[in-house]
């Protein structure tokens, strides 16, 4: 394989100019693990870090003492060099509620919070989690309490969702239907239906027939109340977006050495370039190497057959077959990485071996951190 540039994680962590690290990638590749491992390593190298995680595996969360979803950073560990590691789990509904409370007068806030459409939107809109992760990142950054913020991104199928969701929510709130629903409020609160065209009459009629009259009223209340709040919200999202383009930000793209995940990583890397967002490099996680790589898969397979034909050393034959499988897997993983490297020859890469066990404590995170930094402990 053409050798990619090496991702120098320690240089990034040690650079006081690095203020935000965003870990992104396809679902299940190890974003949360990488974010936590980077946080621990940075803290042990003397930085005051907060890791904003979205969905840590249960045992990892427990071992870090993150048992409650309370939206506040908790101190996880302190190191001799004065470094500190804080971590928090994102509570998206609460973050959303807080924005509403901060932007609307109490009466209006109450109206929004109790509206069934708001409750549905704030707990299950596919994109709310991404939006709120961004919002929380902005809040942490503005608080200026930490000199490094590491963000884990939500478990969406596609890594691009993290960048696209806020805009999608914005676009959605600017949609035609929303404008129709809010028009009467803007025109002085007169009835929606008199002011609008016949098309809307049909729509309102159909909706009333399908859903009952209450739904339309709820929807209108929701939309006009939200409209009053969202101007400020959208502006904040734009500010956070700018933050992501700032020089103190570093994106770490995480991928597994598999086709879909590597392809996703490729898209993401290209997208970051388009958005002028600073890419630190690619982490290829859960790589399988063999401690007996000098014996090729082909030779190993042939030898296993040879032994079987001779009817001797049954166990050795089994071991050789197992080794063949391992070498084939390693070769497949290599090929998947090669595609990425030839398409993006300048992107620095770090590889992290697959552990035999899941990573669920600080010890495991420390080990991953060492592998990330290419500094076996």
Partner 1 sequence: MDSADTDWDGVRLHVVTGKGGTGKTTVAAALALALASGGHKVLLVEVEGRQGIAQIFDLPPLPYEERRIAVAPSGGDVYALAIDPEEAMLEYMEMFYGMRRAGRALTKMGVVDFATTVAPGFRDVLVTGKTTEAVRRRGKDGKRVYDAVVLDAPPTGRITRFLNVTQEVAGLAKVGPIKNHSDLVHGVVKSPETAVHFVTLLEEMPVQETLDGIAEVRTAGLATGGIFINMVRESLLPQATLDAAAQGRFDIGDLALGLKSAGLADGADATSLAEGLAEEIVEHARRTELEQQERESLGEAALPRYELPLLTDGVDLAGLYELAESIRTQGAA
Q: What are the residues binding partner 1 (CB under 8 A)?
A: 27-28, 57-59, 116-117, 119-121, 124-126, 155, 157, 172, 175-178, 180, 199-200, 202-203, 205-207, 209-212, 214-215, 218, 290-295, 299-300, 303-304, 306-307, 310, 312-313, 315-323, 325-326, 328, 356-358, 360
Asked if residue 218 binds Mg ion (CB under 5 A), the reply is: no
Mapping DSSP onto H, E and C, the string for 49-96 reads EEEEECCCCHHHHHHCCCCCCCCCCEEEEECCCCCEEEEEECCHHHHH
Asked if residue 361 binds ligand ADP (CB under 6 A), the reply is: no
Q: What b/e sequence results for 218-252 when a residue is b if at least 16 CB atoms lie within 10 Å of its CB, and e otherwise?
A: bbbbbbbbbbebbeebbebbeebbebbeeebbbbb
- DSSP string of 183-197? HHHHTTS--HHHHS-
Asked if residue 348 binds ligand ADP (CB under 6 A), the reply is: no
17 binds, among partner 1, ligand ADP, Mg ion, none (CB under 5 to 8 A by kind): none
30 binds, among partner 1, ligand ADP, Mg ion, none (CB under 5 to 8 A by kind): ligand ADP
| Smallest distance, Mg ion to C-beta of residue 31, A | 5
Query: Site map for ligand ADP, 326-345, x if CB under 6 A?
Result: --------------------
Distance CA 307, CA 317 (A): 6
**Phi and psi for 47 in degrees, rounded to 5?**
-100, 155
Contacts of residue 30, defined as CB under 8 A and 6 or more positions apart, other chains included, come to 254, 256, 283, 285, 286, 352
Task: Say if CB 130 and CB 154 are below 8 A apart.
Answer: yes
* Choice from 13, 19, 24, 33 touching ligand ADP (CB under 6 A): 33
> Could you tell me which stretch among 24-32, 84-92, 158-166, 315-323 binds ligand ADP (CB under 6 A)?
24-32
**Phi and psi for 152 in degrees, rounded to 5?**
-95, 140
Task: Say if CB 347 and CB 266 are below 8 A apart.
Answer: no
Distance CA 297, CA 287 (A): 17
263 binds, among partner 1, ligand ADP, Mg ion, none (CB under 5 to 8 A by kind): none
Asked if residue 286 binds ligand ADP (CB under 6 A), the reply is: yes
> Could you tell me which stretch among 26-34, 99-107, 133-141, 221-229 binds ligand ADP (CB under 6 A)?
26-34
* Choice from 214, 355, 363, 375 touching ligand ADP (CB under 6 A): 355
* Choice from 19, 31, 103, 323 touching ligand ADP (CB under 6 A): 31
Helix ranges (DSSP H) in the chain: 9-14, 31-44, 58-63, 92-103, 106-114, 116-124, 128-143, 161-173, 176-186, 192-195, 198-211, 213-245, 259-274, 297-310, 314-343, 362-372
* Choice from 32, 128, 266, 337 touching Mg ion (CB under 5 A): 32
Asked if residue 249 binds Mg ion (CB under 5 A), the reply is: no
Contacts of residue 303, defined as CB under 8 A and 6 or more positions apart, other chains included, come to 320
> Could you tell me which stretch among 51-59, 207-215, 239-247, 353-361 binds Mg ion (CB under 5 A)?
51-59
| Token duo for residue 320 | 């050789």
Asked if residue 325 binds ligand ADP (CB under 6 A), the reply is: no
Question: Which of these, 60, 45, 56, lies nearest to 8 by C-alpha position?
Answer: 45
**Closer Cβ to ligand ADP, 188 or 377, answer by number:** 377
| Smallest distance, Mg ion to C-beta of residue 150, A | 13
| Smallest distance, partner 1 to C-beta of residue 267, A | 16
Asked if residue 154 binds ligand ADP (CB under 6 A), the reply is: no
The residue to which tokens 């007169």 are assigned = 190
Query: Site map for ligand ADP, 47-66, x if CB under 6 A?
Result: ----------x---------
Residues that bind ligand ADP (CB under 6 A): 27-33, 57, 155, 285-286, 352, 354-355, 358-359, 368
Residues that bind Mg ion (CB under 5 A): 31-32, 55
């Amino acid at each position: 394989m053409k050798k990619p540039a090496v991702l120098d994680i320690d240089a990034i962590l040690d650079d006081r100019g690095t203020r935000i690290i965003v870990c992104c990638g396809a679902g299940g590749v190890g974003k949360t693990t990488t974010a936590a491992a980077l946080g621990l390593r940075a803290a042990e190298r003397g930085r005051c870090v907060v890791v904003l995680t979205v969905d840590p595996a249960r045992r990892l969360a427990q071992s870090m003492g993150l048992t409650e979803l309370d939206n506040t950073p908790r101190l996880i560990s302190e190191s001799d060099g004065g470094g500190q590691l804080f971590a928090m789990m994102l509570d998206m509904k609460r973050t959303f509620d807080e924005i509403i409370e901060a932007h609307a007068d109490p009466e209006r806030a109450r109206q929004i919070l109790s509206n069934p459409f708001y409750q549905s939107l704030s707990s299950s809109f596919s994109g709310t989690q991404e939006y709120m992760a961004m919002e929380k990142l902005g809040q942490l950054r503005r608080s200026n309490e930490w000199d490094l913020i590491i963000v884990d991104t939500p478990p969406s199928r596609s890594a691009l969702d993290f960048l696209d969701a806020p805009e999608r929510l914005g676009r959605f709130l600017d949609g035609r239907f929303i404008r129709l629903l809010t028009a009467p409020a803007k025109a002085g609160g007169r009835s929606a239906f008199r002011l609008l065209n016949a098309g809307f009459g049909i729509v309102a009629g159909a909706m009333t027939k399908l859903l009952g009259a209450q739904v339309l009223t709820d929807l209108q209340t929701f939309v006009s109340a939200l409209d009053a709040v969202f101007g400020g919200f959208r502006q904040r999202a734009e500010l956070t977006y700018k933050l992501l383009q700032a020089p103190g930000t570093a994106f770490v793209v995480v991928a597994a050495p598999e086709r879909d995940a590597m392809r996703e990583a490729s898209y993401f890397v290209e997208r970051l370039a388009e958005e002028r967002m600073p890419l630190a490099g690619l982490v290829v996680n859960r790589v399988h190497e063999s401690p007996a790589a000098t014996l090729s898969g082909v030779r190993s397979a042939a030898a296993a057959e040879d032994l079987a034909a001779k009817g001797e050393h049954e166990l050795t034959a089994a071991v050789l077959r197992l080794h063949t499988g391992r070498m084939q897997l390693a070769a497949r993983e290599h090929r998947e990485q090669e595609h990425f490297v030839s398409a993006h020859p300048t992107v620095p890469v770090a590889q992290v071996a697959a552990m035999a066990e899941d990573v669920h404590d600080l010890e495991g995170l420390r080990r991953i951190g060492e592998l990330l930094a290419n500094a076996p402990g």
